[in-house]
Amino acid sequence: MAALSDSTGAALPVGSQIRLGTFANLSGAEILALAAQGPAAVNAALLPFGQTSAVGNGSTGAAGTLEFTASEPLAAGLADLYALVLNATNTADATELLLLKISSRVPADDPSGLPGYLAVHLRHAELIYGTPSGAGFSTGAAQDQPSGFATWITAQLGAGAAPEDLAEDADADHDGFPNLLEYALGSQAGSGSSLATLELVTSDGQRHVQYLRRNDDATLSITCELQVDPAAPAWTVLTSPVVVIAEPAAPAGYERVRRLLPESPAGRAFARLRVAD
């Protein structure tokens, strides 16, 4: 059983609200952005599964256990289930929240008609919003949340890394790419041999640029720019549509995209990526 506490480390009071549910057609970045707005925003977007429960409510009334009853039949299995925990008995009074993605898939109803049960283990869940504690998780307020970049660079370099190496514009591995660029384009900040790439590919007789970009951080701006005429050295923003490429598969949190290049009067063009947050 995972222990649940608030941002001060105090155990969540009995009656603190807990809901299971899903988010319809929302990306990970969109869900995270909602959570950063506070309990009311994320609670409004959550599509509930089962009944609202609370800390201290559960099987036989035992403290620290939770039990949810499905409110409608399930003809098909249910994935991407989240647990939303508030630090109060209702949304209006809540100032902090904890959002976890449950690893288990809710099975479809048994054809026999027998009731089914799903054990939800919060200690195996993926932390979306909040902070890890020694024995479980703590709720967090919006201003307490580290940015996606801050969480990533700490994981890349380790908690003992020099503070100057953790900055967005630092080049921790001395490969010529600043940390923010590596975060946005899928290379490693602690390995000089892991380099972000911008590829030129030809498909159906047309030239495209292809690159990996992060798609789970709504604060990032990744812009592709072109210089097509050496006589006019200004860079212009590429406006062709973004096409997501399925193969080769992109790592979690990223997508591989391809964009058509315009014809160049000089028969050549230069492309670059600009990253900002």
Do residues 158 and 232 share a domain?
no
Q: What is the pLDDT of residue 143?
A: 63
How far apart CA 86 and CA 84 sit, in angstroms, is 7
In this prediction, residue 146 carries a pLDDT of 65
Residues 94 and 181 in one domain: no
Tokens of 112: 């026999």
Is there a single domain that holds both residue 259 and residue 141?
A: no
What does the pLDDT read at residue 213? Answer: 92
Q: Which of helix, strand or coil describes residue 195?
A: coil
174 Rama class: left (phi>0) / alpha (psi -120 to 50) / beta: left
pLDDT at 258: 92
Range of the domain at 244: 198-276
pLDDT in tens, 36-93: 888 988 988 998 887 788 877 555 554 444 555 555 566 666 678 898 999 999 998 9
Query: Which residue is associated with the tokens 């159906």?
Result: 204
Q: Is there a single domain that holds both residue 39 and residue 139? A: yes
Q: Is residue 191 part of a domain?
A: no
Global pTM exceeds 0.85: no
CATH of the domain at 246: 2.60.40
| Same structural domain, 138 and 164 | no
* 113 and 53 together in one domain: yes
User: Are 25 and 125 contained in the same domain?
Assistant: yes
Phi/psi at 194 (nearest 5 deg)? -100, 105
Rounded to an integer, what distance in angstroms lies between the CA atom of residue 246 and that of residue 42?
Answer: 30
Clarify whether residues 270 and 249 are in a common domain: yes
Give kind and range of the element (H or E) at residue 28: helix 28-37
Does some domain include residue 233? yes
Counting as low any pLDDT under 70, the low residues of the chain are: 1-2, 57-78, 104-124, 134-135, 143-146, 159, 230, 232, 265-267
Please give the Cα distance from 146 to 152 (Å, whole number): 10
192 is a domain residue: no
pLDDT of residue 105: 65
Same domain, 17 and 75: yes
DSSP code, position 107: P
Residues 67, 165, single domain; the answer is: no
Number of domains the chain is built from: 3
Q: Cα–Cα distances in Å, from 25 out to 30, 76, 90, 192? A: 10, 17, 26, 37
Do 114 and 17 have their domain in common? yes
Other C-beta atoms within 10 Å of 260: how many? 16
What is the Cα–Cα distance from 271 to 273, expressed in whole angstroms?
7
Q: Are 180 and 169 in contact (CB under 8 A)?
A: yes
In a domain, 140, yes or no: yes
**Distance, CA of 227 to CA of 233 (rounded, Å):** 6
CB atoms within 10 A of CB 33: 16
Q: Within a domain: residue 193?
A: no
CB of 83 within 8 A of CB of 52? no
pLDDT the model gives residue 64: 45
Same structural domain, 71 and 138: yes
Domain membership flag for residue 258: yes
**Tell me, what's the pLDDT at 233?**
73
Q: In this structure, is residue 164 part of a structural domain?
A: yes
Answer yes or no: are the C-beta atoms of 7 and 131 closer than 8 Å. yes
Q: What is the pLDDT of residue 194?
A: 85
Q: How are beta strands 221-227 and 53-54 bridged, if at all?
A: unpaired
Name the 3-class secondary structure at 225: strand
Instruction: Establish if 190 belongs to a structural domain.
Output: no
